Structure 1
């Protein structure tokens, strides 16, 4: 059976990929599947910069705000949910499209992910408990640095979830996450994918991040964090979202709100840098020069390349 075509719009935060994906979906009768590890959770619309109905422009979106924040959600679970959504979209005669900045999720769908098949709940819980304190996070990061220096180089010490996962993979498979990713790249995936990413000069991307954070404040970020603080046990995932701990610290009077906003911008810039590193390493990504272009113009450029590759199948 011939493989389905899968369009992907990836890239760093605040690069305009959501707007591009929506315009591309309008051009090509497509539907969008979120590939964002924070947008999947309920109750975190502003923190995760979830697209609004206005931004969706009537395009159907999938895998947004459907997971309870108390649940552990893995790349394997995402792959299963995304594949189900892809089949539904294809059956309706539309083009499926992934959109997001979580490279692990995109790879989970577009490449076989052998390491994500294995998990050990007890081990996971033990490692996460260690990572609950600052000294524990350092301990975990030191372990990762020893067993997988490449993964340690691209992860931040405070990214407990990903640091923990990299350690789990090594203990379960005897291979580093870096080795597993290399093996995955050598195996053929389930779809005929084409992956795009908007390409901005670094200074302009950082400016856009500043604008994005300011807009999130206007859209109720402080109020959303205040609500989440009241019931942190129900929303442990919120603790990992950029902006939560910064705004929460300001609400507790530990820092000023202006400091919280600036720290949120700084943390978001660091995230963007890590995302850029991830996607620049993926030889499949086609970088679309974004400077001076609207989302529609970038989508039209993507559309031309898609038609060139797949011909009448997508016209």
Structure 2
């Protein structure tokens, strides 16, 4: 019988963590974090990392596994998550992937083939310096000399894609086309995607309130530790919740302005998350705007029971 992997997705602050834990308790599952920042040790408040009390004894995976200076990519997540899923299947446990990092989730639901190169920090820094000093046109010209086909397909003003294409050709010797594009294949398991959503204004209120609570809990001090560790260029330091405070630490901005910027960035991020999951995934949505937590949980529980009867790893 085909086994099932359950996904809990949606925007930040909508309540995915609690739903994931309670479904794990109901169906005999374990949680795999699908958040790109919760893998980092010490980044607890800004990532809204699930606490030991909130876990209610449910095992959680891919949390606190790396130091902030280490890199973690979508392909890294996919590789480790697939290993965890296979192990949970062997143990007759339900894997529940909880998170809002769209590409991480798609890597599992579509079995994407990622073709990552190991990051060359020196080259990346050089290219970013060129982008800042000379603009994207200089990068476009550099790519055109080495990979004309990619230069033709990538807009001259898209600095991020230009840097990535140059990285590939200069670190692998292959053009972007030769290196390979993402390939979608059917996964070997059933995927059930549960999406949590909420009316926009209410969600934004929750986000603003959560930022205030994070500040009260010590977010500024947590961000300062990352800043003073001189890891400003690391992947972790670029996360929403930390980078907003760096101008404040540098004396370039007030604390109030930094907090306002964090709220704005978080709201924009939530909007992007909703757009991603609505456009790229087959999600069953549950609107929490006017519903209690208990009612939402019951509806989701009933949906899982009604749509996974052919699966052998859900304890119904």
- TM bucket normalised to smaller: 0.7 to 0.9
Instruction: Kindly report which structure 2 residues correspond to 1:18-37, keeping only aligned pairs within 5 A, or say none.
Output: 18-37=17-36
Change in Cα spacing, 1:99 to 1:253, as seen in structure 2 (3 Å) is: same
Residues 283-315 of structure 1: CA distance to partner in whole angstroms, max 9, x if unpaired?
Answer: 411111111233343222122112111126431
Instruction: Kindly report which structure 2 residues correspond to 1:250-265, keeping only aligned pairs within 5 A, or say none.
Output: 250-265=248-263
Q: Answer whether contact 1:34 1:99 (CA < 8 A) is retained.
A: yes
Q: Which residue of 1 aligns with 2:225?
A: 227
Q: Which residue of 2 aligns with 1:288?
A: 286
Change in Cα spacing, 1:221 to 1:9, as seen in structure 2 (3 Å) is: same
Give the gaps of 5 or more residues in structure 2. Answer: 141-149
Separation in structure 2 between the aligned mates of residue 10 and residue 167 of structure 1, nearest angstrom? 33
Is the partner of 2:297 in helix, strand or coil?
A: helix
Separation in structure 1 between the aligned mates of residue 257 and residue 281 of structure 2, nearest angstrom? 38
Q: Answer whether contact 1:118 1:172 (CA < 8 A) is retained.
A: no
Q: Which residue of 1 aligns with 2:145?
A: none
Give the gaps of 5 or more residues in structure 1. Answer: none
Change in Cα spacing, 1:305 to 1:238, as seen in structure 2 (3 Å) is: same
Residues 165-191 of structure 1: CA distance to partner in whole angstroms, max 9, x if unpaired?
Answer: 5776797542999xx56x52xx21132
Q: Normalized against structure 1, the TM-score is what?
A: 0.83
Change in Cα spacing, 1:146 to 1:119, as seen in structure 2 (3 Å) is: same
Change in Cα spacing, 1:286 to 1:146, as seen in structure 2 (3 Å) is: farther
For residue 131 of structure 1, report the CA deviation from its aligned partner: 2.8
Aligned residues: 298
Is the partner of 2:203 in helix, strand or coil?
A: helix
Separation in structure 1 between the aligned mates of residue 125 and residue 272 of structure 2, nearest angstrom? 22
Is the partner of 1:47 in helix, strand or coil?
A: coil
Q: Which residue of 2 aligns with 1:135?
A: 132
Separation in structure 2 between the aligned mates of residue 281 and residue 86 of structure 1, nearest angstrom? 25
Q: CA RMSD in A?
A: 3.1
Separation in structure 2 between the aligned mates of residue 54 and residue 283 of structure 1, nearest angstrom? 31
Q: Answer whether contact 2:154 2:162 (CA < 8 A) is retained.
A: no
Q: Which residue of 1 aligns with 2:269?
A: 271
Q: Answer whether contact 1:209 1:269 (CA < 8 A) is retained.
A: yes
Is the partner of 2:7 in helix, strand or coil?
A: strand
Q: Which residue of 2 aligns with 1:51?
A: 50
Is the partner of 2:224 in helix, strand or coil?
A: helix
Is the partner of 2:280 in helix, strand or coil?
A: coil
Q: Which residue of 1 aligns with 2:193?
A: 195
**Residue in structure 1 matching 2:177, options 163, 174, 179:** 174
Change in Cα spacing, 1:175 to 1:265, as seen in structure 2 (3 Å) is: farther
Q: Normalized against structure 2, the TM-score is what?
A: 0.83
Separation in structure 1 between the aligned mates of residue 193 and residue 168 of structure 2, nearest angstrom? 26
Q: Answer whether contact 2:5 2:95 (CA < 8 A) is retained.
A: yes
Q: Which residue of 2 aligns with 1:62?
A: 61
For residue 129 of structure 1, report the CA deviation from its aligned partner: 3.9
Q: Which residue of 2 aligns with 1:81?
A: 80
Separation in structure 1 between the aligned mates of residue 108 and residue 70 of structure 2, nearest angstrom? 21
Separation in structure 2 between the aligned mates of residue 220 and residue 283 of structure 1, nearest angstrom? 35
- Structure with the bigger percentage of helix: 1
Residues 54-94 of structure 1: CA distance to partner in whole angstroms, max 9, x if unpaired?
Answer: 22222111100101222222211111111121122223322
For residue 252 of structure 1, report the CA deviation from its aligned partner: 3.0
For residue 134 of structure 1, report the CA deviation from its aligned partner: 7.1
